[in-house]
């Protein structure tokens, strides 16, 4: 009887361990299959990725172009454009941004849908005449490129609420003004599609990441202009 009890207990232990091992194998196999399916789905999503619709310009902005004509961003419906925040008295950064935008115009300007928009950080001093003179002096006098000025409060509020740009801060330190300009402002470029959706921000003036940001902006712009393109087309 004692031997039978021992054998019975041994059988129970073996059965218990077999059950545990079986459960672990099922869990392990299930986890492997789930992980594999997830990775395959993520791989497919990455290959088919496109610049997301981050936000939409819900309100319109009316401003004055450098030629004195009153225009509004609603007129650019159906266009795909890059927007930058600049001003004519900026000692360096704004000209750098304009140079990058000029390169984009030379690369994509043959497409009639492509447009550029530079909006003044300092509308109180950037008159249309002053902006027009700056544009011609700096060699960025190109078609399909607006340089806008207007009411300072309206423009700054719009840039924060609609473009989601950082607010403008006025520098007061003379040394800082000399080196960086009178205003500290957002130096990213924003990409807007034909439906007024913001599709990306690009810190092209970053000393560390400017090259990468320029490459990313060029890729995203190609994808927005050509809806059939996927991320896998750039591999």
CA–CA gap between residue 207 and residue 205 (Å, rounded):
6
pLDDT confidence band for 33 (50 / 70 / 90): low
pLDDT confidence band for 37 (50 / 70 / 90): very low
Average pLDDT, the chain: 88
CB-neighbour burial class of residue 25 (10 A; exposed 0-12, middle 13-18, buried 19+) = exposed
Closest to 171 measured CA to CA, from 97, 117, 100, 91: 91
Indicate the domain borders of the chain.
1-47, 55-234
114-120 vs 145-149, strand pairing mode: parallel
pLDDT confidence band for 109 (50 / 70 / 90): very high
- 10 Å Cβ neighbour count for 122? 22
pLDDT digits (tens, 9 = 90+) for 120-165: 999 999 999 999 999 999 999 998 999 999 999 999 999 999 999 9
**pLDDT for res 27:** 77
What are the Cα distances from residue 143, in Å, to 90, 105, 106, 146? Answer: 23, 9, 11, 8
What class is the 55-234 domain? alpha beta
CA–CA gap between residue 17 and residue 23 (Å, rounded):
10
Angle at 50 between CA 162 and CA 189, to 5 degrees: 40
> Can you spell out the DSSP letters for 83-152?
EEEE-TT-SSHHHHHHHHHHHHHHHHTTSTTEEEEEEES-TTT--HHHHHHHHHHHT---TTEEEEE--H
Average pLDDT over residues 6-13: 68
pTM: 0.80
pLDDT confidence band for 32 (50 / 70 / 90): low
CA–CA gap between residue 58 and residue 197 (Å, rounded):
9
Closest to 87 measured CA to CA, from 115, 125, 136, 61: 125
Query: Do 183 and 86 meet the contact criterion of CB atoms below 8 Å apart?
Result: no
Alpha-carbon dihedral 170, 174, 176, 179, rounded to 10 degrees: 120
62-65 vs 70-72, strand pairing mode: antiparallel
């Amino acid at each position: 009887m004692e031997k039978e009890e021992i054998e019975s207990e041994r059988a129970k232990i073996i059965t218990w361990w077999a059950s545990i091992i079986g459960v672990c194998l099922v869990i392990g196999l299930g986890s492997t299959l789930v992980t594999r399916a997830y990775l395959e789905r993520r791989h497919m999503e990455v290959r088919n990725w496109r610049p997301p619709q981050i936000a939409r310009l819900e309100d319109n902005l009316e401003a004055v172009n450098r030629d004195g004509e009153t225009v509004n961003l609603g007129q650019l419906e159906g266009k795909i454009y890059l927007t930058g925040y600049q001003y004519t008295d900026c000692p360096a950064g704004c000209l750098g941004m304009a140079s990058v935008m000029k390169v984009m115009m030379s690369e994509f300007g043959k497409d009639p849908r492509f447009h550029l928009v530079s909006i003044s950080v300092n509308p109180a001093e950037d008159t249309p005449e002053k902006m027009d003179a700056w544009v011609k002096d700096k060699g960025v006098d190109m078609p399909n490129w607006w340089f806008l000025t207007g009411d300072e409060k309206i423009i700054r509020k719009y840039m924060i609420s609609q473009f989601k740009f950082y607010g403008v801060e006025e520098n007061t330190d003379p040394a800082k003004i000399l080196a960086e300009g009178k205003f500290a402002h957002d130096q990213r470029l924003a990409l807007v599609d034909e439906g007024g959706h913001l599709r990306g921000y690009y810190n092209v003036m970053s000393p560390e990441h400017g090259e990468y940001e320029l490459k990313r902006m060029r890729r995203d712009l190609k994808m927005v202009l050509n809806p059939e393109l996927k991320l896998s087309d750039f591999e």
